[in-house]
């Protein structure tokens, strides 16, 4: 394979001006490597509508419906293995990790179903933040052998695609009413980093020894500077702009 495709994506994705452009470049990369299907999704939160988790994706017709109907997400070895994975891995390697699992037979049935839909094998790449697993990107179809270098670059591509798509999901698709201001005070940067860690206003106030009202005042200022819609959008933009890492 030609890693130049991966390097090109890592550069060009920062120049995309819409989610559609990101998806277009991602599809070029996926197809260029011989994968037929892909998905970029967020990790579910309590009481969250599953339909809101998908940032983009293309799957065999009928497979998502079967996957949901049979509740395969509860035993999907790739999803379960994500919790302990620090880098991308091959689907079949995840199945091997659950050789003695009590749900092994059901996992094998899921594998049989997926193969009938053309999902022979693939890879999945976790996206982590300071608070843990945030989402993932998966690619699959016919078996494709990736080198360790290509897996590492796909890992980076997954993170780029995830954060850019999340940014566009929360951004106003029309022209912004005011420019983004990345100049932050020392206190704003402290609050921003704790927010990226997943802390609440109450927790941040205790650490900084200031009132909840003051923390919210700082957060409102940060949100206003970044022209963000909400705190989740603030975090997404902060990672994108390099304010937090």
What pLDDT digit, counting tens, does each position of 83-103 carry? 788 899 999 999 888 988 999
User: In CATH terms, are 4-170 and 186-241 the same topology?
Assistant: no
| Segments making up each domain of the chain, as ranges | 4-170, 186-241
The CA distance from 182 to 138, in Å, is 32
Q: Which residue has the higher pLDDT, 93 or 170?
A: 93
Q: Which residue has the higher pLDDT, 119 or 86?
A: 119
Residue 2 pLDDT exceeds 70 = yes
Which of 46-60, 73-87, 146-160, 196-210: highest mean pLDDT?
146-160
What integer is the mean pLDDT of 28-36?
A: 95
Q: Which CATH superfamily hosts domain 4-170?
A: Transcription factor LuxR-like, autoinducer-binding domain (3.30.450.80)
Residue 89: which H helix or E strand, with range? strand 89-90
3-state class (DSSP) for residue 175: coil
Strands (E), 130-228: 132-141
Contact assessment for residue 160 and residue 10, using Cβ atoms and an 8 Å cutoff: yes
**What percent of the chain is modeled with pLDDT above 90?**
51
Position 143 scores a pLDDT of 95
Strands (E), 130-213: 132-141
pLDDT, averaged across the chain = 87
Position 225 scores a pLDDT of 86
Q: What is the CATH number of domain 186-241?
A: 1.10.10.10
């Amino acid at each position: 394979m030609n890693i130049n495709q991966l390097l090109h994506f890592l550069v060009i994705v920062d120049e995309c001006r819409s989610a559609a452009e990101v998806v277009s470049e991602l599809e070029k990369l996926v197809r260029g490597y011989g994968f037929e299907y892909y998905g970029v999704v967020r990790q579910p939160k309590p009481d969250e509508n599953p339909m809101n988790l998908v940032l983009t994706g293309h799957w065999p017709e009928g497979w998502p419906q079967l996957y949901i109907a049979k509740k395969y997400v509860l035993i999907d070895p790739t999803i379960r293995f994500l919790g302990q994975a620090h880098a991308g891995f091959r689907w079949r390697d995840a199945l091997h990790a659950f050789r003695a699992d009590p749900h092994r037979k059901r996992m094998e049935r899921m594998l049989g179903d997926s193969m009938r839909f053309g999902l022979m094998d693939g890879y999945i790449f976790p996206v982590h933040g300071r608070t843990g697993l945030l989402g993932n990107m998966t690619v699959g179809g016919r078996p494709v052998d990736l080198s360790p270098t290509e897996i590492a670059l796909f890992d980076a591509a997954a993170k780029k695609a995830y954060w850019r798509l999340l940014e566009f999901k929360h951004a106003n698709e029309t022209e912004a009413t005011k420019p983004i201001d990345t100049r932050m005070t020392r206190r704003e940067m402290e609050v921003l980093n704790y927010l990226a860690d997943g802390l609440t206003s109450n927790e941040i106030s205790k650490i900084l020894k200031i009132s909840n009202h003051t923390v919210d005042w700082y957060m409102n200022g940060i949100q206003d500077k970044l022209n963000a819609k909400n705190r989740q959008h603030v975090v997404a933009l902060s990672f994108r702009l390099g304010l937090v890492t």
